[in-house]
Structure 1
Amino acid sequence: MTIEQRTDTGPADERLAPTPSADRLPRRLADFATLGDALDYAATGVRGLNFHDARGMLVRAYTYRELRDDALVTARRLVAAGVGPEDRVALIAETGPEFAALFFAVVYVGAWPVPLPLPTSFGGKDSYIDQLRTQLASCDPVLLVYPPELGEMAGEAARLGGVTAIDWAELATRDAPEAMLPEASPDAVAYLQYSSGSTRFPHGVAITHRALLNNLAAHSHGMEVIETDRCISWLPWYHDMGLVGCFLSPVANQMSTDYLKTEDFARRPLAWLDLISRNAGTSMSYSPTFGYDICARRMSSQTRASDRFDLSRWRVAGNGADMIRPDVMQAFVDAFADAGFKASAFLPSYGLAEATLAVSIMPPGEGIRMELVEETELSGRDPGIANDNGHPRRYRAIVNCGRPARDMRVEVREEDGTTLPERAIGKIWCSGPSVMVGYFRDPDATAACLADGWLDTGDMGYLSDGYLYIVGRAKDMIIVNGRNHWPQDIEWAVEQLPGFKAGDIAAFAITTPGGEETPAVLVQCRSSDEGERLRLRDTIRERVRAVTGMNCVIELIPPRTLPRTSSGKLSRTKARNLYLTGEIRPYEVRAA
């Protein structure tokens, strides 16, 4: 059964038909002056956005024509409410037609939409309200618009922040008197994007129409978009990969898209692969590493993937937003090769909100490529010098994240700004038309990462034969006795032990009472047996010592304790802060 021939029964309306993948409208690869121009053009075709429930059933087919019509009506309502050019309008980014129309309505008004997160990634009601309040204070909006079901939390955050708030169902009942809408300039700011790590000190990334359209064109050219392509996504719209890569890019490149809500994917991850299987055309779908990991783990070793899935037409299986792990990618191939998935479909990439999104993209069909890098190179020592302890050399597989995107330049630099040669590890800098104009109302933070048109990404890596390899995040590096240690290496070492998985471990540096820096490793433990906890702690300590040669502070903590960013990634910085303030309380483990 193809998606164009769907006859599913259940709560979804059987008469619904998804927007088609093909269109007679000549495809333009994001060659527009503004985002509004892009939607105006897409609305003359038949493609659009398709929203599915938790079981993958279609509940709303939303053509770009309908999206534009709704956005223009909503824009007039916003004008009547006093919203004008360069005002900020905060929007709770729930995946659905309401947010889509609101986002473009704010763009048509000349104001700046500011997508804000849903509560699913935060540690309860109070934490979510505090996060909203902090981001509202940062972007200083004239209005907060939210889904009705979040009225209590959004309303409380708005009240604490002194912001006018309204749920979008109420806004939809207001009159929409005729109003003259401004003509946007390509160099005007299109929206503000908060990076997934924006918590206590949020930075609103200001992206212009010109920067956005340049990056969206780079997506389509880099992935070699073809006529039969269709996007399938569960990524949240408050994160740059979900918002830019899987919402704005399909609009600007006139591609039909099928959506699962992020929380529905979390409950039923294989519904994502069901949607891909039903697509009669070719599929393009992105996920961080953990999404592939969850799906591979959900497949029973007793079940043939081909009994349920057909992944043979999955042309681009994108991977980004977090460190790409070759072992997880291989596990996914092992689980779904029987269903026709090809390893060559993997398309690693690298990007960040400060560059709009994409910095580098792997050419389609090349799949996951790796280089083994000796541990001494990663730690900043001369690789010609033998290991201090005489142990055999250790290597880490570093994934190739592709070539610089169209119009993007990438350099690897020393701390003093000196450009490094190929295969030398250093700080990654990038320059191009899609780099942000700066952080909103934060000139100091802007000056700290922008210099002469170049952006300091804060990430470490190297170039090899024109391809970019990412080693880690500079601020996460643990430096002990002048040697660099990457937290990922420590975390991955623990994950190899039975009973642990990705996301269970956080490694970071702490200062001992004697003033020395040492690694601390927090490990989520599911055992309630005191003896078993003692055994696990000792096993973990020995494992980390074997891999790094260091003695670490090992702390066992309750499940679901480690904090996440709004996009679901582990937040080592927040874990460290919560540990040091005593908000993360380890189990007491005493020797008998």
Structure 2
Amino acid sequence: MPESLATVRLAVQASGNRAEIILFSDLLENEQTGALSRNPLPNDGHALRTLKDLLQSPSVLDLPTMLSKISPSGAAALQQTSGTTGLPKMAMRSHLSMISELEAITDDPTCKPYEVRRLFCTPIFHAFSAPEMLFNALRLGQVSYLMRRFDDSFAQKVHDLRITETFGAPAMLLKLANKPEDYHLLQSLRYVAYGGAPLGSELRRRFLSIFEMPPRLVPVYGMTEGGWFTTLKHPEEDDTGSVGRPVPGYELKISSSNFDQSGKKHSEGEIMVRGPQVMQGYLGNAEATSSAFDDGWLKTGDIGYLEDGKLYLVDRAKDMIKVNGWQVSPVEMQNVLLQMNDILEAAVFGEGHDVDEHPVACVVKKETSLTAEAVREHLRGSLASYKISRCEVRFVETIPKSTTGKVVKELLKRQAALA
């Protein structure tokens, strides 16, 4: 091969393991030299192609033929898990899975008494955000604005762009509730969807209190391995603390065989889901895939219960704290802590093992005079004594969070150890 034609690229065809040679050097060749690249390959009926060939627009775009070659069961997306229960894994979701989800979560905009104008500030790659940010915004033709991340300009953008709908984590709602000077900029909101972490009743009350006409505060519960599991469709609202109803296509059940039900009003257990939206498995990790399912049901690792068709979360199974054999929910303790006016933020985790296990409450002060004993006294007023009898209170500067709004427990534990 001439030296001027020596620069090549190998591109593996999707239909097999054959390689096609594409000449890069043709951009520097004249038309006569470029014609050399069209000589057929030896013992092969195909000709070499050049970049000029690839840059030519096709004469006919046969969309039905192109779509017919896409298998509904073929992998459409690889989404990285957050790694909260170990190293991150790549969840494979098929075309059927993704399309089923988009249709299942769609809220008919024509039945809403306002123009849908959306502002997104959540990570575009996250399973909570991607269906609406990447696909439904285009599919449904909704006016949508994307921020790189949530910051102090969010409220002003809501006002200037006349935003009516937004999506975020509870950490975002807490920051907005803690900025009274921006309350007047948020009044156009009519729908706020939240996900990624639990929303306590106190934070819900504080956030809704900033509005003259409170928006619908709508839960979204799900995980990377299956997208959205539950939500509430327009115009339903719920103030009982549920995370909504299963979206179309999903079945939910509670596996309560390994959970103590004594004294419980509802049958609590691990939440299991099944439906066409569930992933095919973890890429290159058959062992993790097998352990993620139980007879076709995806194990969420979350504890909850069902009532009146709605799902209620108790906590992550791995986050529950055992104090002398009694279960203590970090979410419940965090909600009570946020009811204290002198506390800006709070997070709770378990420390110790077996008989030494106990809760550790990490608190960001609003008032510097706040003491650990005052915090414990506040907890005693709302919780059973066994839940706070051995509770440690540690004051920290911040509560570390991931880009998706989840508390990064390992970082928090390191901070607390230095407090």
- TM bucket by the smaller chain? 0.7 to 0.9
Structure 2 counterpart of 1:382: none
Q: Quote the Cα distance in structure 1 between the aligned partners of 2:228 and 2:186.
A: 30
Larger CA Rg, structure 1 vs 2: 2
Question: TM-score, normalised on structure 1?
Answer: 0.54
User: Which residue pairs with 1:206 in the alignment?
Assistant: 92
Match of 1:537 in 2: 372
Partner in structure 1 of residue 220 of structure 2: 349
Deviations 1:474-529 (A, max 9, x none): 11111122211101122233333343223x333223238xx53222223345888x
2:254–2:268 Cα contact (<8 Å) kept: yes
Tell me the residue number matched to 1:554. Answer: 392
- Residue 350 of structure 1, CA deviation: 1.5
Which structure shows the higher helix fraction?
1
Indicate conservation of the 8 Å contact 1:270/1:298, yes or no. Answer: no
User: What are the residue-to-residue correspondences of 1:92-491 with 2, within 5 Å?
Assistant: 178=54, 183-197=69-83, 201-220=87-106, 223-226=107-110, 228-262=115-149, 265-274=150-159, 278-279=162-163, 283-300=164-181, 305=184, 308=185, 310-311=187-188, 314-337=189-212, 341-343=213-215, 345-355=216-226, 357-370=227-240, 399-416=241-258, 423-491=266-334
**C-alpha distance in 2, partners of 1:324/1:558?**
21
- 1:275 and 1:203 mapped to 2: Cα distance? 40
One-letter amino acid of the structure 2 residue matched with residue 586 of structure 1: L
> 2: CA distance between counterparts of 1:319 and 1:435?
21
User: Does the residue aligned with 1:565 lie in a helix, a strand or coil?
Assistant: coil
Rounded Cα–Cα distance in structure 2 between residues aligned with 1:238 and 1:527: 37
Q: Deviations over 1:116-162 (max 9, x none)?
A: xxxxxxxxxxxxxxxxxxxxxxxxxxxxxxxxxxxxxxxxxxxxxxx
Q: Structure 1's 83 and 245: CA in aligned 2 closer, same or farther, altered over 3 A? A: farther
Distance of aligned partners of 1:292 and 1:80 in 2 relative to their CA distance in 1, 3 Å threshold = farther
Distance between the aligned counterparts of 1:405 and 1:229, measured in 2? 21
SS of equivalent residue, structure 2 residue 138: helix
How far apart in 1 are the matches of 2:339 and 2:12?
54
Cα shift at 1:404: 0.9
Query: Structure 1 residue 571: deviation in Å?
Result: 2.5
CA contact (8 A) 1:523 1:556 kept: yes
Provide the rounded CA distance (Å) in 2 between the counterparts of 1:466 and 1:472: 19
Give unmatched runs, 5+ long, in structure 2: 1-7, 16-50, 59-65
How many residues matched?
Answer: 358
Are 2:76 and 2:95, in contact at CA under 8 Å, matched by a contact in 1? yes
- The equivalent residue for 1:386 is none
1:200 Cα deviation from its structure 2 partner: 5.8
Instruction: Work out whether residues 326 and 368 of structure 1, in 8 Å CA contact, stay in contact via their aligned partners in 2.
Output: no
CA distance in 1, matches of 2:311, 2:298: 16
Shift of 1:192: 1.5
Corresponding residue of 1:516: 356
Per-residue deviation, residues 266-305 of structure 1 (Å, max 9, x unmatched): 23231342255x25xxx332222222222222123xx872
In structure 2, the CA distance between the partners of 1:81 and 1:320, relative to structure 1 (3 Å rule), is farther
SS of residue paired to 1:354: coil
Separation in structure 2 between the aligned mates of residue 492 and residue 186 of structure 1, nearest angstrom = 43
Aligned pairs for 1:498-513 (under 5 A) are 498-502=341-345, 504-511=346-353
| Distance (whole Å) between structure 1 residues aligned to residue 128 and residue 236 of structure 2 | 21
Does the CA contact (< 8 Å) of 1:422 and 1:464 recur in 2? Answer: no
Unaligned stretches of 5+ residues in structure 1: 1-78, 87-174, 371-398, 588-592
Aligned partners of 1:284 and 1:551: how far apart in 2?
A: 43
Once the two structures are superposed, what CA deviation does each residue of 1:326-374 show, in whole Å capped at 9, x if it has no partner? Answer: 332332332121xxx334x22223111111x21112131222320xxxx
Question: CA contact under 8 A between 1:347 and 1:365: conserved in structure 2?
Answer: no
Secondary structure of the structure 1 residue equivalent to 2:344 = coil
| In 2, Cα distance between equivalents of 1:368 and 1:248 | 27
Query: What secondary structure does 2:270 align onto?
Result: strand
Q: Equivalents in 2 of 1:369, 1:309: separation in Å?
A: 21
**Deviation beyond 6 Å, 4+ runs, structure 1:** 179-182
- Percent same amino acid at aligned positions? 22
